[in-house]
A and B are shown apart, each in its own frame.
Chain A
Amino acid sequence: MDTVIETHDLSKRYGNQTAVDRLNLQVARGEIFGFLGPNGAGKTTTFLMLLGLSEPTAGSARVCGFDPTREALKVKRVVGYLPENVGFYDDMTASDNLRFVARLNGIRDGALTGKINEALDRVGLLAEGRKRVGAYSRGMRQRLGIAEVLMKDPRVVFLDEPTLGLDPDGTQRMLEMVRGLSRERGITVFFSSHQLDQVQRISDRVGIMLQGNLVGIGPMDDLAKRKLGVDQAQYTLEEIYMKYFQEGVPAA
């Protein structure tokens, strides 16, 4: 197995509070990994640590063979990150926003326009590329975020809640796009979501975080067998998740 993301006892503490507690996981090349858990379980913190935006308190991580803490720049060169509620410069047009990010990534001016148009075309925004981002709907912003990630030809993408607040049609398109990333271009996708039916549709493997701990990880079929005792296609991810949740959070 060609491992792209791996962590060893990765931990993050804020004062007394443990946001992520000794996280161990591995994600293989080209895989779609669904990262689940309630709000505040430590998913975003994990994203930030894997990107080198936040320093782990203990433990280590490797992304494409680089240490995000020490070699942050190398990691950022090969990783695309779509934050939850991605932000853009609202008074600039979509293509100007992309142009700025492309330049930050060191893409030469000669290749810029072609790259931008290709990325916009891929997410179906080519016709709206000259519009100011301030006039974009939520779905369009989210797609523009994907375009921005695609433009740098990443080997891994981190998507934090990519479908949050999208309408059913938008969600559908987003999932298709995410699946396309992995299947057509061999990009590893590491994404978090609360919409479990969608995660179930596109993920190869899932990990479940509860209060900073990774309580379950593996292909969904395995988890179903282990937790619910049922065979293939007899379960929904929601059932697995709730089972974990009820075991893991006594107060709930």
Chain B
Amino acid sequence: MHGLLVMYRKELEDHFSSTRFILLLTVILMVSLVTTYMVGTGLRKELEGFAKPSMVFLLLFTSTGALFSLVQFIAFFGPLIGLILGFDAISRERASRTLSKLLSQPIYRDAVINGKFLAGLTIIGLMQLSIALLISGMGLWVLGVVPGWEEVGRLLVYLVVSIVYIGFWLAVSILFSILFRGMATSALAALALWIFLAFFMALGSSLAADVISPIPPGQSSDPSAIIRYERTREVVSSFSPIMLYSQATATILDPTRNTTRSLILMGPMERLSLSRFQNPLPLGQSALIVMPHLVSLMAITILCFAICYACFMRQEIRST
């Protein structure tokens, strides 16, 4: 416990004083400021004439301005934050020959990776929190709308999901920094995984569905075949953290969404009710819908970290 605290403190100090952290924070803050400003001014124009628009505040995060919404931006570039924070966690210690020294001190071996992971997670949390606060401030200024408690609650859930999501990528990059000796190698491997999951997973899930439960030729209008196909596709794509994250955040930030399932899978009555009754869900219900996503995200993060743990505890430590 003691070693963990010392490691955590040192890693945190390192992060805060590193150029990397300052650059990362600057870029993210700039992007979020610019997008919120654009979205905010756009929203003001659109909402003119509405007597009582609801949940305007959340639209700041979800509506796409000229380029992309903030949620999309985090879904896409959040992984990079995690990767940048962790890709050299262990390999740098190894390169500077401090690893054997570190491990010859009276601390448990896991204190090293736990400390590094927790420090990274803290940094991620701080970044996310500062972005959310900054955007809320901008929103107050540009829109003049005060968020209600419900909206604040939704934003908090969004924050938690985002932190877990980026935490997953942090765990991935720490794992690669343990597995690969070179810092560049571990960074490249993590990038490759990110690109695969971000760009090719959608394609991959269709491919997998084609293989596992194909729609037989000539039966392309058979609803049960189509449903089977879609189910498989959804299951496969939910292995991708990016997919999990974008579905979860879209639901939590948009109260009128009451399912994460695709339209094809719904029954006719369900579809009808969805189009007829556009009542916003209460926060508790939305949270219930994203719970499985959050749990899956946490599960893969913990799985990834467990692999880190197992690898690191067995690894031979040589001084050279």
Measuring CB to CB, which residues of chain A are less than 8 angstroms from any residue of chain B?
44, 48, 51, 53-54, 73-74, 76-77, 79, 81, 83-90, 100-101, 103-106, 148, 160
Residues on B with beta carbons closer than 8 Å to the beta carbon of A103: 6, 9
Contact between chains at B319 and A160 (CB < 8 Å): yes
Determine if B96 and A104 form an interchain contact, defined as CB atoms under 8 angstroms apart: no
Query: What secondary structure prevails in chain A residues at the interface with B?
Result: mixed
Residues of B within 8 A of A51 (CB): 104
Contact-size category for B: 20 to 34
* B residues whose Cβ falls under 8 Å from a Cβ of A: 2-3, 6-7, 9-10, 96-108, 316-320
Which chain B positions have C-beta within 8 A of A54?
Answer: 316-317
Given contacts A84-B320, A104-B6, contact A76 B104 (CB under 8 A): yes
Q: Which residues of chain B are near A105, meaning CB under 8 Å?
A: 105-106
Q: Pick the contact of B320: A77, A85, A89, A148 (CB < 8 A).
A: A85
Contact B108 A73 (CB under 8 A): yes
Contact B106 A85, beta carbon cutoff 8 Å:
no
Shortest Cβ distance from B18 into chain A, in angstroms? Answer: 9
B317's partner among A53, A85, A86, A88 (CB-CB below 8 A) is A53
A48–B318 touching, CB < 8 Å = yes
Q: Which of A79, A85, A106 contacts B97 (CB 8 A)?
A: A85
Distance from B114 Cβ to chain A, minimum over Cβ atoms (Å): 14
Closest Cβ of chain A to B296, distance in Å, is: 36
What are the 3 closest A-B residue pairs judged by CB atoms, nearest first? A87-B97, A83-B319, A87-B98
Q: Which residues of B contact A106 (CB under 8 A)?
A: 2, 106
Tell me how far the C-beta of A29 lies from the nearest C-beta in chain B, rounded to whole angstroms.
Answer: 21
Residues of B within 8 A of A83 (CB): 97, 100-101, 104, 319
Count of CB-CB pairs between chains A and B under 8 Å: 68
By a CB distance below 8 angstroms, the chain A residues around B103 are 53
- Residues of A close to B9: CB separation below 8 A: 103
Q: How far is the CA of A65 from the CA of B6 in the complex (A)?
A: 28
Return B154 CB to nearest CB of chain A, in Å: 41
* A53→B101 contact, CB < 8 A: no
State how many angstroms separate the Cβ of B287 from the closest Cβ of chain A. 41
Q: How far is the CA of A100 from the CA of B107 in the complex (A)?
A: 12
Find the A residue at minimum CB distance from B314.
A55
Q: Which residues of B contact A88 (CB under 8 A)?
A: 96, 98
The chain A residue with its CB closest to the CB of B98 is A87
Q: What would 5 A/B residue contacts be, using CB atoms closer than 8 Å?
A: A74-B106, A79-B104, A87-B101, A103-B6, A104-B7
**In the complex, which residues of chain A have a beta carbon less than 8 angstroms from the beta carbon of B99?**
87
> Which of B3, B96, B106, B108 has the most CB atoms of chain A within a 10 A radius of its CB?
B106
From B10, B96, B108, A100 is in contact (CB under 8 Å) with B10
- Say how far A151's CB is from chain B's closest CB, in angstroms: 11
Q: In the complex, A11 Cα to B9 Cα: how many Å?
A: 38
- Give the CA-CA distance A77 to B106 in the complex, in Å: 5
- Candidates A53, A90, A148; contact of B100 at CB < 8 Å: A53
Q: How far is the CB of B231 from chain A (nearest CB, A)?
A: 47
Give complex CA distance A82, B106 in Å: 14
